Structure 1
Amino acid sequence: MGRVRTTNKGLPRGLTIKDGRYYHVTTVAPRKWTPLGRDRSQALLAWAKLEGSEPDPSIKTFEVVSLRYEREVIPTKARRTQSDNLKELERLRAVFGRVMIEAIKPHHVRAYLDKRGQQAKARANREKALLSHIINKAREWGYTDAPNPCQGVKGFKEAGRDRYVSDSEFRAVWEKADQTLRDAMDLALLTGQRPADVLKIQRADLHDGALWIVQNKTGAKRAIEVTGELAALIERINARPRERLSAWLIQDDCGKPLGTFAMRSRFDKARTLAEVDFQFRDIRAKAATDTGDLAHSQKLLGHRNREMTEHYVRARIGERVQPLR
């Protein structure tokens, strides 16, 4: 019988991680280390090909099902969702890893939620949602025909953000920001796009008189006309001297694209100096609210229906009503 792993417990036999990179390691001497990259999902796919076999389907534990889910389902999701799911999987495996999939009952899910909710209620809800999806996949794949134990287990109530950013607050942070962050803030405000969608815009996305965007979260496509202030902003960005002009519209002075964490760091510094507490993502809500036209806001933000946009706007400024007399 092989030794029980003391590290990398979530990885299958023959797959290990060293210095942030995944490797396939043979079990017979001389041991051969085959590099599989840094991306876990891609490494698992490569490992499965090298091993030439899937985990024994008769071992219907959560770990076996979740490994298949990680290989086949997670890579189809948006990059940010993949990252979140991998973190959520680690927590779920720590609790349910060796449990037979059909042995997970509603009271187990409730106990997990209550325990996890003591630290982070929102994250507990996301992990429960992932658990539910994995079990539904297990039912589709034939691992179990038992009912989904997550059904009927109520998650924690979450309060949606209702922060409206005033013009003076936006300007206060803008004044303390460096030029690259100012570009990002202005682009987010004028286009109404999510932070990740703003940062991924490339110069090649500007053509035929429009800025062409495919939203990461929903896949919604938008062609935003490059006119007025947006046209002036893009001209300003392009005219600024750089050491190197890169493919990305939002780049630092060295030509490097601005990543999510770099932007967050710069924004946190600027808002601290400005003594204002809104988040970068709140700029999208400001854009939706400031149009003064729900139909325009719906199209700009890429919402599927008007009701979603109405809720998005009213949660921040309230519903306009007539006085008694």
Structure 2
Amino acid sequence: MSPRKRDARKRSFPPNLYERNGYFAWRNPIDGKEHGLGRDKRKAFLQAVEANLHVEGLRTETRLVDKLTGNADRTFGKWMERYTIYVTARELADNTRRSYASLHKLALELLGADAQIDRITTLDIANALEAVQARGNQRQAQALRSRMREIFRKAMAEGWVAANPVAVTDHISVKVQRARLPWEAFMAVYTKTGNVWLRNAMALAITTGQRREDLAVAKFADVHDDAWWCVQIKTGNRVCLPTNLRLDAFGMSLGEIVKQCRTTGVISKHLVHQVSPRGNSTIGAPIWKDTITRRFTDELTEHWPSDWEGNNPPTFHEIRSLAERMYDAQGNVKTQDLLGHKDARSTALYHDRRGMEWVRVQVG
């Protein structure tokens, strides 16, 4: 049965708009609910048109009015082309560039390249983030929110949007599943391993707090004028680590560890180097960062068996966190400077024990 035709007076009405005794209402064709719009005919017509565009999925697409006002080219896709030029000009680590590129591609897929950027709402952002979380990618959703917040902040700064729709979305919390590395476990691996280069890598990591990628490329030539001059690969931050830097609990200074790295009987440019031929690696060659992690994991499993209270076992990177906590307890080293952090909040993340260690109450 076909729907009853409207009378001639109401045939000019937008779809789903009704008028009863001078009062206008719009009926949602999806759920049938009505929404009152008052008695102003002009306003009711405008609101009905916008509501229809929304339910038909056209709200963010380019419309004739955009062409008339010059906003037709201000789509999310066009902005991302412009924003990519801005990001390309920045000094970023290769891993950061790859991460950004992946998140930018995901944002375009979720929000749509043809969407008018100034019509993207907080609801659109929230729906996009929920879609990622629904796939079980909580950490990716967290990273996407952070990236989109910066994307729209820049768009706001250049006048493409009047407000940042990401700013008011809820922060996405991610529970870290990797366990912290206890001091006893570190020492068990260090004292029991028969791998010379792993011992040197661990000694450097616990004494300097630097990342595995920085340890993997560290050269003897970088140690001069009583310091290791380290340019961090991830951030580009420059950290000068004096050779008298010493973690008392470990019992060796940086200078002594550098000397230990020279006693392998192998001539090499690198502090952490191959001491015997293995696969495609020649004697004296640097150790690939992933090899450092794999070998440490194998040794940890062998020398410190544990179920880690249901969490994932700690990786080599956890030595960096352990170094921060040990130096903080020692008290004579500013750990934010040691780790090369510009923001104290980054250092605080490393200081979090994640419930894996006992906290001794100090008395007197």
- The 3 A distance-change label for structure 1 pair 268 and 294 is same
Which entry has the higher C-alpha Rg, 1 or 2? 2
Tell me the residue number matched to 1:120: 137
SS in 1 for 2:107: helix
- The 3 A distance-change label for structure 1 pair 322 and 161 is farther
SS in 1 for 2:202: helix
**Residue number among 127, 142, 145 corresponding to 2:161 in the alignment:** 145
Within 5 Å, which residues of 2 pair with 1:207-246? Answer: 207-217=224-234, 219-227=236-244, 228-242=252-266, 245-246=268-269
2:189 maps to 1:165: no
Aligned residues of 1:177 and 1:270 also touching (Cα < 8 A) = no
Unaligned regions of 5+ residues in structure 2, if any? 1-70, 245-251, 276-281, 307-312
Q: What RMSD in Å do the two structures reach over aligned CA positions?
A: 3.2
For 1:199-258, what per-residue CA distance to the aligned partner results, in whole angstroms no more than 9, with x for missing partners?
Answer: 33222210001111233455543322224442232122223233x624x32233424333
Aligned residues of 2:196 and 2:264 also touching (Cα < 8 A) = no
Aligned residues of 1:176 and 1:271 also touching (Cα < 8 A) = no
Aligned residues of 2:92 and 2:235 also touching (Cα < 8 A) = no
- The 3 A distance-change label for structure 1 pair 205 and 149 is same
**Residue number among 249, 254, 257 corresponding to 2:271 in the alignment:** 249
Q: CA deviation at 1:165?
A: 2.6
2:319 maps to 1:283: yes
Within 5 Å, which residues of 2 pair with 1:181-200? Answer: 181-200=198-217
Tell me the residue number matched to 2:294: 265
CA distance in 1, matches of 2:171, 2:194: 39
- The 3 A distance-change label for structure 1 pair 176 and 162 is same
Tell me the residue number matched to 1:204: 221
2:358 maps to 1:321: no
Tell me the residue number matched to 2:99: 84
Unaligned regions of 5+ residues in structure 1, if any? 1-56
Aligned residues of 2:293 and 2:315 also touching (Cα < 8 A) = no
Aligned partner of 2:338: which letter? L
SS in 2 for 1:240: coil
CA distance in 1, matches of 2:145, 2:344: 29
- The 3 A distance-change label for structure 1 pair 158 and 183 is same
Aligned residues of 2:207 and 2:323 also touching (Cα < 8 A) = yes
CA distance in 1, matches of 2:163, 2:106: 22
- The 3 A distance-change label for structure 1 pair 264 and 302 is same
- The 3 A distance-change label for structure 1 pair 311 and 205 is same
**Residue number among 146, 149, 152 corresponding to 1:132 in the alignment:** 149
CA distance in 1, matches of 2:342, 2:229: 18
SS in 1 for 2:154: helix
SS in 2 for 1:224: strand
SS in 2 for 1:222: strand
**Residue number among 68, 85, 90 corresponding to 1:71 in the alignment:** 85
Q: How many residues align?
A: 266
What is the TM-score of this pair, normalised by structure 1?
0.69
Tell me the residue number matched to 1:101: 117
What is the TM-score of this pair, normalised by structure 2?
0.62
Q: CA deviation at 1:295?
A: 4.6
CA distance in 2, matches of 1:97, 1:106: 15
Aligned residues of 1:63 and 1:96 also touching (Cα < 8 A) = no
SS in 2 for 1:169: helix
- The 3 A distance-change label for structure 1 pair 135 and 305 is closer
For 1:78-127, what per-residue CA distance to the aligned partner results, in whole angstroms no more than 9, with x for missing partners?
Answer: 33322221222232222234223223211111111112113121221111
